[in-house]
Structure 1
Amino acid sequence: MDYAIQTEALSLQYKNKLALDHLSLAVPRGGIHAVVGANGAGKSSLFRVLLGFQSPTDGSARILGCDSGRLTQELRGRIGFVNEEHTLPAWLTVDEVMRMQRRQYARWNQRRYDDVVGNFNVLPDQHIAQLSRGERAGVNLALALAQGPELLILDEPTLGLDVVAKRAFLEALMFTALDDGSTIIYCSHQMEEIERVADNLIILERGRLRHMSEPSAFCERVQLWVAEFPFKLPDTSHLPGVLEIQRIDELVHFVVFDQDEEFGARLKLLGARTVHSMPVSLDRAVNGFLAQGHISTKRLANAA
């Protein structure tokens, strides 16, 4: 299989901190691949190594079939990158930035640029310094997509955007990004975005790959069981597949992984008066997966 990104036992160490821990990851070409994880999971470190900005401590990384440490100018032209800062030269106008970028990419698609930037009500003669954060994000996305990249890496691109700008960004991405079969790596903490755009879910934790599958397939493997224990909560340490336990008065919420109806029967054997199960959102599923083993007695702020 041809991979857009491939790493083998990739490690990156910062003094006493291991940012990437023997990470082996293979991302096929095509589609939108969401990379999620808590702060410090290694997402940004992975991107720095892949783009050749930093050398790994050990292991290997390849992007579009090439060693990340040996990227040529021609290959870099086939890779787009948009980060959360949306940094552009503030003293130039939008049109001047576009013309500067257009000269650098042989595959430049002016129609695509015009279509995307048109979603953000940006005028060509506006200086970058005059743009809001959302408008800068839109210009950045338009520049990246017009470049015609085979691979587009988006690192928290909607961070700090208001609801309107975020919607415009996602719609522009979904309607234009996959016209030519390009591959998108989308890193975000916003699970509602991931549910909307992602074909593949990649969960990183402490520099390691924890899980990779379609988002819907992952959610089907995570379930919420609610049990009523009128008296003292019994010892539940032996229950299989428990990711998270949260108690709300007499009700105990169990977020579990890869469990069936037998889990409910186990709860009844422990003395539960009532037991029922329900599906969970992607946000609850991912957070539960990453919080494996955590037990909380706080009231649940958001139900599944």
Structure 2
Amino acid sequence: MSLEIRHLRALAAVVDTGTFTDAAIELHCSQAAVSRAILALETQLGTQLLSRSTRHVALTPLGERVLTRARRVLLEVRLITEEVAETTREVRVGYAWSTLGAHTGAVQRTWRAQHPESHLVFRQSNTATAGLLDGEVELAVLRTVPRDPRIETVRLGEERRVAVLANDDPLARRRALLLDDFAGKTMAVDARTGTTVSSLWPAERAPVFIPTSSLDEWLTLIADGDVYGVTSEATAAQHPRPGIAYRPLRDAPTIEVRLAWWRGAKPAVADALAQVIIAAYDEAPQLTR
């Protein structure tokens, strides 16, 4: 027996739904068929992928790695099917915290006008590749250069950095700030997807960094006071929040925004989408200091 696409679909469905019963409903088949597919996959690979109990189904450590690759295979199969069918399709673009900031709406409208047969969908995934390596999306908007050699990118534009602080902080009374205003203070960061690194400051003036795991946690921590953040202006445009102030950083380097895809598997729409986004950034007011 050889490994088949239906085996991979069964694995993904069980993990996504949480049970064999719900996976069967999603796949429009019997629970027994799902069980046979998982067993066939495990037999073919010679290892256990799922840990089963009466109340819980979980991936084994090796199962997690297999699922990541399975999702990529399933994504490629879906894209092949859609290419052949030449029907209306979704273009799934991942992002970590913010899509394209103030440019998001303009890009969506332009894409809809130029490509009415295609639906542009942005999906949030707080991972280093914004869901690309997980097979959740075919393209991703990144604000850090990926270290993984399997990923290719193209530059879209650049964004200013802004400081993030509580509204009642004395620094919030100023219209613009400097990096040195935060020297020695406590800075909330996301090491997986964030763009705030110690090299922005001289070694002897660097803030104290504390980790966060999500945008909501990050903003909540800052709103409580005595903790600060630095982010892209896209975050300020898309995530205003009571109790939070965003202020331009006059001396901070800009953040480069890139569009990413799997090396050797560049989606047919990648160049067209990049052109639309680049035009939106080029038409924006010039960055000022």
TM-score band by shorter chain is: under 0.3
Structure 2 length-normalised TM: 0.28
More strand by share: 1
The structure in which a higher percent of residues are helix is: 2
Provide the TM-score with structure 1 as the length reference.
0.27
